[in-house]
Structure 1
Amino acid sequence: MSDVAGTLPSTRPSFLRLPYLRWGLVAIIQLFLIAIPLADRFDVQRNGQVVPLELVPVDPRDLLRGDYVIINLAINSLSKDLSEGDKIAVGDKIFVGLQAGAGKAAQPVVVSVERDNAGDLAMSGTVRSLTENEIRVDYGIDAFFLPEGEGRIIERLDTSRVLLEIAVTEDGRSLPLTLLVDGKAFQSDAAF
C-alpha cells in the first residue's frame, strides 16, 4: 500500500509550518498586549494638562517595589452641592470639573455624569459611596512609588506642604506625575 496522506499538500500556510515562526508570532502578540497600557500612559502624559492636587499621604511599604505613598486626594470627598441636581448613584462614572490656580491646588467646582457639563478641565472617576451631603469618588490614583527610604521623609512632612501633580486629558483620564514638596519636585513618576 502507498502512503496517500504523505503526498497531499498541507492546508496550513507555509509560514506556520515552522515552529519558531509560530512562537515568534505568539511573542509579538504578547508584547503588543503589554504595550497597550504603556501607550495609554504615554498618551495621558503627552496630551494631558498638568494640575496640582492636595493629598493626605500615608507611608506603607511594598516588599517587592519599595516605598510608596498612598494617595488620598482631597477631592476624593466632594460636596453633593457640586452635582447641580444630577442623579448620581454608587458605581456611576462621573466627571469632576476642576479650577486650576497658579501654583495652588486645583479645586473641584462641578460634578456631572456628562463630560460636556464638567467644564474644560475635568477628571473622570467612579462613585464609591454616597451620603446625604457627600460623594466619595475613586479616580484610580491610589499610590505613588518612591525610592527606598524616601517614603519616611514624606510621612513626616506636614501635609499642607505636599501636592501631587497629575496629568488630565480632555476625556478625563488622569495619572500621577510628580510629588511636590513646598512647590518643588520631590520625586517624578513620569515614565516618559
Structure 2
Amino acid sequence: MKKYSRILIIANLLLLVGYFNWSVFKKEQTLKDGQLVLLHLAPVDPRSLMQGDYMRLNYEINSSLSDFIDEQTTTRGYAILKTDSNQVGQLIRLQNTLTPLNDNEVVIKYKIVDNRVFLGAESFFFEEGQDTLYQKATYGGLKVDDKGQSLLVGLYDENLQHIQPK
C-alpha cells in the first residue's frame, strides 16, 4: 500500500509540474506572437502603503463596457475591440463566443464580478522611487492571443512610447 501511495504522489507531482510548464509556455507564446493592443488608462493613485509602489489600472474602456451590458449579458464573454493604426483599441461590442471577428478586430476575455468589469491586468508593480516615471502613463499595453487571453506587457506614454525604468 505504501508503494502505491508514493507512486500516486509522484504522478500527481509530475502532473502539477507539467501543467505549470505548459502554462508558462502558453504565456511565453502570447508574449512572442500576441497582438499588441493599447488601452487608454483612467487616472488612479500609484501608491500603496502595504504593497509598495504600484499602479492600479483602470482602463477607460471599462466605463464604456457598462453601456453594452444588459440583462442578457453573461458574466464571462469576449470584448471585441477595433484597433487603429497605432494599435489603440476601441470597444465595438460584447459577444459570448470567440467568433465572428472582422478585419482589424481583436478579442479580449472579460468577466463581470459585483457589477465591475475585469478586462486584462488590474495592477502594475514597479520599482520603488519610479512613481514619477509611471505617472506619465496614458496607455496599458496588452499582448492578446487569438483565444482572447491577454498579458500586460507594460505602460505607454501619450506618444505611444513604452515607459522603461531608468
TM-score bin, normalised by smaller chain: 0.7 to 0.9
Q: Give unmatched runs, 5+ long, in structure 1.
A: 1-9, 18-22, 131-135
Matches of 2:2 and 2:139 in 1, distance apart?
Answer: 62
> In the alignment, what sits opposite 1:167?
143
> In the alignment, what sits opposite 1:184?
161
Q: Which amino acid aligns with 1:61?
A: S
1:134-153 equivalence runs, <5 A: 136-153=116-133
Aligned residues: 160
Q: Which amino acid aligns with 2:59?
A: L
Pairwise CA distance, 1:39: 2.5
> In the alignment, what sits opposite 1:116?
99
Matches of 1:32 and 1:166 in 2, distance apart?
Answer: 26
Matches of 1:63 and 1:128 in 2, distance apart?
Answer: 24
1:78 aligns to 2:64 (yes or no): yes
1:128-154 CA distance string (max 9 Å, x none): 355xxxxx4212411112122112433
Matches of 2:78 and 2:45 in 1, distance apart?
Answer: 26
Matches of 2:29 and 2:53 in 1, distance apart?
Answer: 26
Q: Which amino acid aligns with 1:175?
A: L
Give TM-score scaled by structure 2 length. Answer: 0.74
Matches of 2:82 and 2:152 in 1, distance apart?
Answer: 18
Closer/same/farther in 2, CA of residues 43 and 37 from structure 1, 3 Å limit:
same
Pairwise CA distance, 1:68: 1.4
Matches of 2:27 and 2:98 in 1, distance apart?
Answer: 20
Pairwise CA distance, 1:61: 3.3
Root-mean-square deviation over aligned CA pairs: 3.5
Give TM-score scaled by structure 1 length. Answer: 0.66
1:160-190 CA distance string (max 9 Å, x none): x6111111111111011021113211138xx
Closer/same/farther in 2, CA of residues 115 and 29 from structure 1, 3 Å limit:
closer
SS in 1 for 2:32: helix
Of 17, 22, 27 in structure 2, the residue corresponding to residue 41 of structure 1 is 27
Computing the radius of gyration over CA atoms, which structure comes out larger, 1 or 2? 1
> In the alignment, what sits opposite 2:88?
105
SS in 2 for 1:184: coil
CA contact (8 A) 2:65 2:117 kept: no
Pairwise CA distance, 1:103: 2.0
SS in 2 for 1:115: coil
Percent pairwise identity: 18
Matches of 1:27 and 1:104 in 2, distance apart?
Answer: 42
Matches of 2:66 and 2:46 in 1, distance apart?
Answer: 30
Q: Give unmatched runs, 5+ long, in structure 2.
A: none
Q: Which amino acid aligns with 2:112?
A: V
Closer/same/farther in 2, CA of residues 138 and 81 from structure 1, 3 Å limit:
closer
